[in-house]
Each structure stands twice: as structure tokens, then as C-alpha cells.
Amino acid sequence: MAAMHRAFRRRSSTCATGVIAAVVIAAGWTAYADDLAAELKDCPYRIAYESWQDGNWELLAVHADGSAPVNLTKTPDVNEMYPHASPDGAKIVFVVDEAAGAAKVRNVYCMNLDGSGRRRLAENAREPCWDSQGTVVACLHGESDSFTYTDYATKGLARIDLATGLCSEHPNAGLQHLYNVCWSPDGKWFVSTVHAGMGFKHAILAIEADGNGVYNLGLPGCRPDVSPDGKKVAWGASDWTLRAGDLDFSGPTPQVKNVRDLVASQEPMEVYHVDWSPDGRYVAFSRGPKSKRMGRAAEIVGMQAEGWNICVADAAAANRWTAITSDGKSNKEPDWIPARDAKP
């Protein structure tokens, strides 16, 4: 792995607070940014995210309050995106867009958080996630051999045992056009968005991990994330709204109850990519102006998103959030890093 380091400009707390306050005021929020920013200084977790740095996608990590940024990948000639940290905070899985032209392909990789032990887990694959033990990675197969940025261009779901390297396919061979898949902590369910596939126009599904059952959770929007205790789910209900609800698998069909807003934005500032903190107290998310590149929306993996930043919200309140990055360098897809072994 390349050893080149990127230069990072550290923001002073005074500057960061001023930027955050300006954003909050401009958007007309009742978001208690200042006190939440101070509260996050005591949060023991960090957040990994993808960022467009000097013409290249890199994986960065910051403390929950946005301090102490670190480049986890430091690869100026390789594009890494979509980071997901293991439950023990020791490893990270991500996707890499490799080669160019007709040979371009998106692959799934894993490495230790310090950059060592980097290896390819799956070719022509995307959207990796962890089981709760940190021993198996699930990912979606590309729908065809031709590269595309289209997020739902997937067919099939595989599970890769990190110790043996063995890959097993999901028993439901009909899984298609899924994206942003996540795994429940008890290992029994996958929750995912589907678009134009499996008889659905657009839906958030609960999928049996070891069976053929597929259930529509009846939620508008996309990109769900199951809380670490498995009792809640958060998702993007629209381009402008993040919601959470209680996830109930106890009945004959899975349900989401007690739905509420976490963050409500205003045009043109979109909110996407919600992710629960390890203790369930906060959610991280991406926020930035609505735009398109190459005809595709800014929230899609691999699309630059000028002006987008990472934010953190109080999961127990409505619209209590703060921005933790301010450079707007296409900062997207946040994922919390548990405290153990979190520093590279």
C-alpha cells in the first residue's frame, strides 16, 4: 500500500463552531449545535467516511466531534469508498473501483484499521456489511460484468468467512436490485432497499438470512440501518428527512412501529446515509446540496458531491444535530468505529 500521506488542515474549535452555527442559522433550524458539539467531545467513538481528496476517493476517520482527522487509506492512485467498521473496531471493509474503461470493476476489500492486512474479498461486488461477531462479511454481487455506478445494479448476496475465505450464497437465489444491505445483530435478518426488482417498485425489505422469506416493511425511502441492539431502524424517508422506528421481529411478519423524525432538512440541502452509533445514542449522516454528476445523484457511491459534509444527530431528539466536517469535499457514507482498537 502506498505510504504517501495527505496533509490535513485541523480546524480550531472556534472556527468549527462558527461554521456550524452559520449553517444552522442559514437553514432555519432549532438544532442545538453548540451544546451537542461539546457533548460529542466525550464520545469514545470515531467515524469513518469517504472523501474526495485531491482528485481521489480516500477513507478518512475523525472523532465524533470532528477532531483529529486521519487518512486511513493514503492511496493517491486508488479509489476507496463505502467504509464499514467491524464490531470490534479493528477492521474495515470497503469498496474499490479498479481499472478503467471497459475493464473497470468495483470490488470489496478488507484491511486492519491501521492499513495493514489489506486484501480483496470479492470481485465485482459492492455494499459490504458485517455480522455481529466480525467474522463474516456479506456483500452484493454486481448484476453484470459491465461497470455501472447505479446503486441497485446487483443480483445475489454472498457471505464470506474471513478466517477461511470461503464464500456461501444466500439461499434465496431471487434476490435482485438490492442496495445498502445491513445485517441484524442476531444474524437472522438482512434489511435492505430494493428498487425495480423482486416484484417491488421501491421498498425497504426485511430478508431472512437463512431462508427465502422477504417482507416489505412499508417504509418510504431507502438506505436503512439497524441499531446495534437490533431494536430500531433508521433510514432516509426522502431526500430531506431521516426517520427512526422500533423494529419488531416478534410477530408473524416484521414491522416497524413508533416512527419519528430524526432530522428534517430543507431544499436544497439533502440528508442521507444515516448510521447508528455503537451505543445507539447518536446517528451520523451526510448532508449537502442536491446535485447530479453524469446524470446521477450525489448520494450514489462513486459520485462526487461538492459541499457535502458529515453530521451527527442526537438519536433521542428531533433536529438536534451538528456538522463535524466543514470542507465539503464530498464527505459521505459515515460509519461509526467502535472504541476498541479505534486508533490506527
∠ CA 156-158-160 to the nearest 5 degrees?
A: 170
∠ CA 155-192-296 to the nearest 5 degrees?
A: 70
Average pLDDT over residues 65-75: 97
pLDDT of residue 33: 73
pLDDT at 275 over 60: yes
pLDDT of residue 18: 38
CB 102 within 8 A of CB 31: no
CB-based contacts of 115: which residues, under 8 Å, 6+ apart?
A: 1, 72, 73, 74, 344
CB 191 within 8 A of CB 206: yes
pLDDT of residue 4: 31
CB 71 within 8 A of CB 6: yes
Q: How confident is the model at residue 34 (pLDDT cuts 50, 70, 90)?
A: confident
pLDDT at 168 over 50: yes
Average pLDDT over residues 129-149: 97
Q: Where are the alpha helices (DSSP H) in the chain?
A: 13-27, 33-40
Cα 221 from Cα 218, distance rounded (Å): 10
Average pLDDT over residues 176-186: 98
DSSP state of 102: G
**Prediction pTM value:** 0.90
> What does the mean pLDDT of the chain come to?
91
pLDDT of residue 181: 98
pLDDT at 21 over 60: no
Cα 313 from Cα 101, distance rounded (Å): 40
Average pLDDT over residues 293-309: 97
Cα 67 from Cα 45, distance rounded (Å): 12
Sequential DSSP letters for 64-87: TTS-S-EES---TTSEEEEEEE-T
Cα 109 from Cα 83, distance rounded (Å): 10
Per residue in 207-229, pLDDT (tens digit) is: 999 999 999 999 999 999 999 99
Cα 325 from Cα 9, distance rounded (Å): 11
Average pLDDT over residues 71-98: 97
pLDDT of residue 32: 56
Share of the chain above pLDDT 70, in %: 89
- Convert 211-250 to b/e letters by CB count within 10 Å (16 or more is b): eeebbebebebbbbbbbbebebbbbbbebbbbbbbebeee
Domain 13-337: CATH superfamily, name plus number: TolB, C-terminal domain (2.120.10.30)
Q: How confident is the model at residue 20 (pLDDT cuts 50, 70, 90)?
A: very low
Least confident interval from 3-7, 206-210, 318-322? 3-7
pLDDT at 27 over 90: no
Q: Between these two residues, 125 and 344, which has the higher pLDDT value? A: 125
Q: What's at 126, amino acid-wise?
A: R
pLDDT at 194 over 60: yes
pLDDT at 22 over 70: no
Q: Between these two residues, 5 and 306, which has the higher pLDDT value? A: 306
